[in-house]
Amino acid sequence: MSLDEIRVLGTRAHPISMQETLSRCIELSRGLGNQHVVINAAKVVSLQEDSLLRSTIDEASLVGIDGQSVVWAARWLGYDVPERVAGIDLMHEIIRAAPGENLRLYFLGAEQSVVEKVVEFAEARGCTVAGFRNGYWTDEEESTIVSDIADLNVNVLFLGLPSPRKEHFVRTYRQALNTGLTIGVGGSFDVIAGKTLRAPSWMQKSGLEWAYRLSQEPKRMLKRYLVGNAKFIRIVLKEKLGPRSERPD
């Protein structure tokens, strides 16, 4: 499957729909060493200074556009982006499709009680769960975790870890994991397990999901959103006002 690619806000992305993303993920899950990553406003800001994160995105098999603010910014810059493809929504779609596609899933991340609930959720929908583990381990344990996953013939590995930890983890072990496709889904495990609530659909569509999350975790998210959003706006304006050659026709 050939995919269009854009270079926007200092990174690359595939501006495709949810259905196209799902089809591509299923295809990649039957291969080896593939990675799906997403870009959002926070990640656009981080990759300006994080060369490893930038390299991970550059090397990924599929780069989705998660943040609604990135969708709007890309459209304002002249790119044709059909819709936002949120990581948690993609995770739901893959879980829904997995039984019919005979995919073996692995869930890595979050607290033990949380990941157990995610496994229950997937198994209740007919999925084959090859294995799971919480997201807390020492440096000494890491190689054993990787080798354990490699022995399980996993088609899709869901990583419920924060950025940029999940991106760096996959960049280091992508081939050693011996999985078809690795997908970073951040805090999606917590949402599925009911530990945290997702913003109402109208807030998601209005680009206000960040405000809902801020209301739930003000101390942890205040600096990220206030400072991060201001930096993101500067990045967008810089690209908009940059040389014509850097923008689409």
Q: Where are the domains of the chain?
A: 6-193
Inform me whether the pLDDT recorded for 8 exceeds 90: yes
**Residue 14 pLDDT level (bands cut at 50, 70, 90):** very high
* Residues 6+ positions from 219 with CB-CB distance below 8 Å: none
Cα–Cα–Cα angle for 194, 197, 202, rounded to 5 degrees: 140
Q: What is the pTM of this model?
A: 0.90
Q: What span, in angstroms and rounded, lies between the C-alpha atoms of 119 and 137?
A: 19
Structure tokens at 175: 């081939």
Which is more confidently placed, 148 or 205?
148
| Residue 249 confidence (pLDDT) | 56
Measured between alpha carbons, how far apart are the two ends of the chain, in Å? 25
- Average confidence (pLDDT) over 143-161: 97
Q: What span, in angstroms and rounded, lies between the C-alpha atoms of 189 and 202?
A: 22
| Residue 1 confidence (pLDDT) | 41
Helix (H) or strand (E) run with residue 56 in it: helix 51-59
Q: What span, in angstroms and rounded, lies between the C-alpha atoms of 28 and 215?
A: 37
Residues 44-60 have pLDDT tens digits of 999 999 988 898 899 99
Residues 198-238 have pLDDT tens digits of 877 877 777 777 777 777 777 766 777 778 889 999 999 99
Inform me whether the pLDDT recorded for 21 exceeds 80: yes
| Residue 70 confidence (pLDDT) | 95
Average pLDDT, the chain: 91
Percent of the chain with pLDDT over 70: 95
Residues 94-124 have pLDDT tens digits of 999 999 999 999 999 999 999 999 999 999 9
Q: Spell out the CATH class of 6-193.
A: alpha beta
Q: What span, in angstroms and rounded, lies between the C-alpha atoms of 137 and 141?
A: 6
| Residue 149 confidence (pLDDT) | 98
CA-to-CA dists, residue 224 to 19, 220, 229, angstroms: 31, 8, 8
Identify whether 164 is preceded by a cis peptide bond (ω within 30 of 0). Answer: yes
